[in-house]
Amino acid sequence: MKNSHRRVVVTSPFFDDGAVAYLKEHGCEVEVVQWHKGQGDGGLATPQLVDLLQGASGWIVGQAYVTRELLAALPALQVLARRGVGYERVDVSAVKDLGRVLTIGAGGNDASVADHTIGLILAVARRLRESQNRMLSGNWSILISSDLSEKTVGIIGLGRIGKSLVQRLKGFETRILVCHPRPDREYGEANGITYVDMETLLRQSDYVSVHAPLTPETRFLIDKAALALMKPTSVLINTARGGLVNDSDLLHALKSGRIAGAGLDVYVSESDPGFKPVSDELIALPNVVATPHSAGSSAEALARTNMVAARTVVSVFDGGDLPAACVIADGRRSVSVR
């Protein structure tokens, strides 16, 4: 017998059988939307989403834009669970005002994104893309590359992923600089990191890795002026959010030799199609190693974050406690959690 009060619609791709089974074991009716290659909920208009979600009490959401209009049209919807950690496409105020709950998959992909960040640093520094392309064309001559060992790495933003990156960098005996609005001095002393201002970090770092949240204040945090402060031998890494870096300015800096290279997993064009030509030029450069926003999409990370999403949905249905790190807004309470 169907339980209309526990109907969960999953529009996030790569939702695995284990997470589906967990939901069903806890009395949920589960509908997993199957997408064709290249499709997803991010391309759906509000009326299409309303049709998909009508009557659902839980939604495990991918990249859809969640507006006040959409939420108002879905009175049965209690909880929206983002498998990832970003929520810039969700109207958080509307979630709270309309008495809904918004959660994220905090902690599920920290290790995977940190691993990916190290991979991008090494791939750019050791010129892996350039070397393989030359070999494919029959040129086996050696390209001189750079080490990560004993270099200075600047981390902008020290949340869960930034801290996971710190642990990995220790093995390379790096000097770690951090720019963070609320320095944790105890953590810094215990892990051998130095807190500095943004200008110092940009001027002194051999590798700059961005791990800040995307907000109106941090949009284009790395722009022409910031890139001008970096060493001409330095490398920029962005596995956080497209929009933290002005990709047009980055393209110019790379083409002009202002900086040596970049490792990119996220792009402004993901939310602004007007930047698509810029993204195309960036990923074509020989000194850029690019991936398609896949840093958190290892099999292990997807399984962990799928289960986090499933557990938060069930907890809301049961009226249970939610992990504080996962809650962005809880409209059942008088104030937003964040």
Among residues 88, 130, 270, 281, the one annotated as catalytic is 270
Distance CA 148, CA 54 (A): 52
Backbone dihedral region of 319: left (phi > 0), alpha (psi from -120 to 50 degrees) or beta? left
Among residues 100, 180, 241, 304, the one annotated as catalytic is 241
Kindly list the strands in the beta sheet with 261-264, ordered across the sheet, starting from the edge strand earlier in the chain.
Answer: 193-195, 175-179, 152-156, 207-210, 235-238, 261-264, 288-290
Per DSSP, 292 falls in state: S
Q: Is 252 a catalytic residue?
A: no
Q: In this structure, are residues 287 and 277 in contact, taking their beta carbons and an 8 Å threshold?
A: no
> Who contacts 41 (Cβ-Cβ below 8 Å, separation ≥6)?
11, 12, 33, 49, 52, 61, 62, 63, 64
The residue behind tokens 């943004």 is 198
Query: CA angle, 48 as apex, 333 and 310 as ends, to 5°?
Result: 45
Distance CA 95, CA 79 (A): 9
> Who contacts 107 (Cβ-Cβ below 8 Å, separation ≥6)?
160, 304, 308, 323, 325, 326
What is the token pair recorded at 170? 């220790």
Q: Is 26 a catalytic residue?
A: no
285 to 257, 300, 313: CA distances (angstroms):
12, 31, 43
Within 10 Å of residue 212's Cβ, how many Cβ atoms?
A: 22
DSSP reduced 3-state for 16: coil
Within 10 Å of residue 39's Cβ, how many Cβ atoms?
A: 12
Among residues 293, 304, 332, 338, the one annotated as catalytic is 293
HSE-up of residue 46 (Cα within 13 Å, Cβ side) = 11
> Who contacts 247 (Cβ-Cβ below 8 Å, separation ≥6)?
267, 268, 269, 275, 278, 279, 282
Q: Is 88 a catalytic residue?
A: no
- Positions annotated as catalytic residues are 241, 270, 293
